[in-house]
Amino acid sequence: MNLGSLKYAEGSHHRRKKIARGDASGHGGTAGKGHKGQMSRSGAKHRAWFEGGQMPIQRRLPKRGFTNIHREENQIVQLSMLEALVDGLVSPDTLLAAGLIERMNAPVKILCDGDLTAKLTVCGVKVSKSAQARIEAAGGSVQPVEG
């Protein structure tokens, strides 16, 4: 076997259509463009959203809602996930190392879902009020986030 003997797998390679090369080719006459109409003419082009003069869909449908460009998406961590942290310190660095968050540059918030028995020290992370109550009830502490 060498490079000169390589072939495509059976049925995987199709011959190119030879368009407008006479009627015997099967693609002669109108060259696969049908009869008349804008797209059969030479130089024909229209925008992808053009609907032939019909009122376009982006004008038929009403405008609705908006996108808040200042929205800040928090990375969510549940209390039940924090049981696995061994040293008891919860910060963005330890959460990233444990694989509980994906990015350092996005804010993190701890929510109250599940039970907590470990004594945790939370710093540099937002905490919901109910989660803060459970952390403090378990003997831990929460340091507020600056800013």
Is the pLDDT at 81 greater than 60? The verdict is yes
Is pTM beyond 0.85? Reply is: no
Answer yes or no: are the C-beta atoms of 110 and 128 closer than 8 Å.
Answer: yes
98-142: pLDDT as tens digits: 899 999 989 999 999 888 888 889 999 999 999 999 999 989 999
Determine the 3-state secondary structure of 57 from DSSP: helix
Helices first, then strands: H and E counts in the chain: 3, 6
Question: In the chain, what percentage of residues exceed pLDDT 70?
Answer: 99
Is the pLDDT at 147 greater than 60? The verdict is no
Mean pLDDT for 32-38 is: 91
The band of 83, judged by pLDDT with boundaries at 50, 70 and 90, is confident
Q: What is the pLDDT of residue 109?
A: 94
- Longest CA–CA span in the chain (Å) reads 88
The CA-CA-CA angle for residues 113, 141, 127, to 5°, reads: 40
Is the pLDDT at 86 greater than 80? The verdict is no
Amino acid at position 114, single letter: G
CA distance 102 to 97: 10
All domains in the chain, ordered by first residue:
75-142 (3.100.10.10)
Is the pLDDT at 71 greater than 60? The verdict is yes
Q: What is the pLDDT of residue 111?
A: 94
Answer yes or no: are the C-beta atoms of 115 and 80 closer than 8 Å.
Answer: yes
Determine the 3-state secondary structure of 84 from DSSP: helix
Q: What is the 3-state secondary structure (H, E, C) of 23-48?
A: HHHCCCCCCCCCCCCHHHCCCCCCCC
